[in-house]
Amino acid sequence: MATTQGGTSARTPRTKPPRRARGPAPPAATPAATHDLDLLRRMLLIRRFEERCVELYSAAAIRGFVHLCIGEEAVAVGVHQALGEADAVVSTYREHGHALARGVPPEAVMAEMYGKATGCSHGRGGSMHLFDADRRFYGGNAIVGGGLPLAAGLALADRMRGESGVTCCFFGDGAFAEGEFHETANLAALWGLPVLFVCENNLYAMGTALTREHAQTDLAMRAASYGMAAWAVDGMDVHAVEKAARGAVESIRAGSGPHFLEMRTYRFRAHSMYDPDRYRPKGEVEEWKRHDPVTGLAEGMRKAGFLDTDAQEALDHEVTVAIDRAVREAEQAPEEPAEDLLLHVTGQREEVPS
């Protein structure tokens, strides 16, 4: 599957019908094949959503800061395989993929990108502040490391209410250097909180390389110093991510306290759409693209007989149609009315009986 972005207009439909099936019958729908196909569909949805955001931003259809997770799809999808509806998720400003993997509809995410009232945050948050309380997705956070204390609070609240939920907190290697991580890790380990710390180590905190930021770059080893289970995972392999996440969540549910997963991954795009990306060599980016999690899974499925050309084209068509629909609905969605500007900002006065 291609990882480059097309040059079509943001408003031009790019769908085409899949080729007619020919030759041998489609791959058998074994449990393993069905699961892999679901993983591929979820990762492909994130990839195509992010690629469309590039087009929309370039066409000035969406504005503000936009941080893309192209290349990191396996982390979002793999981790969410281990989470249930009762679990909570706290994210970062690079959270489109996390929201989609959590089950927030593409229409609601895209409308939020447009700042429309039908967005998951009613158009008030935009790219960096996606939020869906019904799905226990407690949003992106524009502050580096800002979600970490919130995750500890959510986990503590669940435990005090006698609930069995796990709180999963995503953050980057840059946030690992912030005081919020160390304070939160210490309290979570001290109190045995049910938190899964997922560090998306993509080797760069904005434009600062990991080796220029951390004297010791083995983040999992450093996290283990707080007395929690911690290990590194190949974040470009969705199967490895899922296996690690399932093991960690199962252990947390059993009462073993917080766990830390260092997902060693890479973003193929710059830090944000504003970023000229001059701080890393182009050869490094191309080398990491050889480990593309989406194409890697598809190739593995082909070798296993789980996927053929027709099925792959049909899947790509299905995802593209879904994103076309999300863009179309976002463009037609209403703006929030001016009379609602103070809604959810100030408390509503209650009438006191005389």
Structure confidence at residue 20 as a pLDDT band (50, 70, 90): very low
CA distance 151 to 138: 9
Mean pLDDT value of segment 250-263: 98
262's CB contacts (< 8 A; 6+ apart) are 199, 201, 219, 220, 223, 230, 231, 232, 233
pLDDT at position 3 over 70: no
**How confident is the model over 154-203, as pLDDT tens digits?**
999 999 999 999 999 999 999 999 999 999 999 999 999 999 999 999 99
Mean pLDDT value of segment 308-328: 96
Q: What is the pLDDT of residue 349?
A: 67
pLDDT at position 11 over 50: no
Q: What is the pLDDT of residue 87?
A: 98
Q: What is the pLDDT of residue 346?
A: 77
Mean pLDDT value of segment 256-275: 96
- Classified as helix, coil or strand, 172 is strand
Hey, which residues does 233 pair with through a beta bridge? Answer: 263
CA distance 279 to 272: 13
CA distance 115 to 62: 8
pLDDT at position 15 over 50: no
- Classified as helix, coil or strand, 340 is helix
CA distance 257 to 252: 5
Residue 335 φ then ψ, to 5°: -75, 155
Mean pLDDT value of segment 204-215: 94
CA distance 3 to 316: 13
- Which of these, 133, 100, 287, 257, lies nearest to 188 by C-alpha position? 257
Q: What is the pLDDT of residue 352?
A: 63
335 touches 119 (CB < 8 A):
no
Q: State the chain's mean pLDDT as an integer.
A: 91
Q: What is the pLDDT of residue 244?
A: 98
Q: Tell me which of 102-106, 200-204, 217-221, 333-337 is least confident.
A: 333-337
**First-last CA distance in the chain:** 69
Q: What is the pLDDT of residue 2?
A: 38
The DSSP H or E segment spanning 326 is: helix 309-332
* Helix, strand, coil content of the chain in percent (nearest 5): 45, 10, 45
- 216: exposed, middle or buried (Cβ count in 10 Å: 0-12, 13-18, 19+): exposed
Mean pLDDT value of segment 296-321: 96
pLDDT at position 127 over 60: yes
CA distance 350 to 347: 9
pLDDT at position 94 over 90: yes
CA distance 178 to 164: 29
44 touches 315 (CB < 8 A):
yes
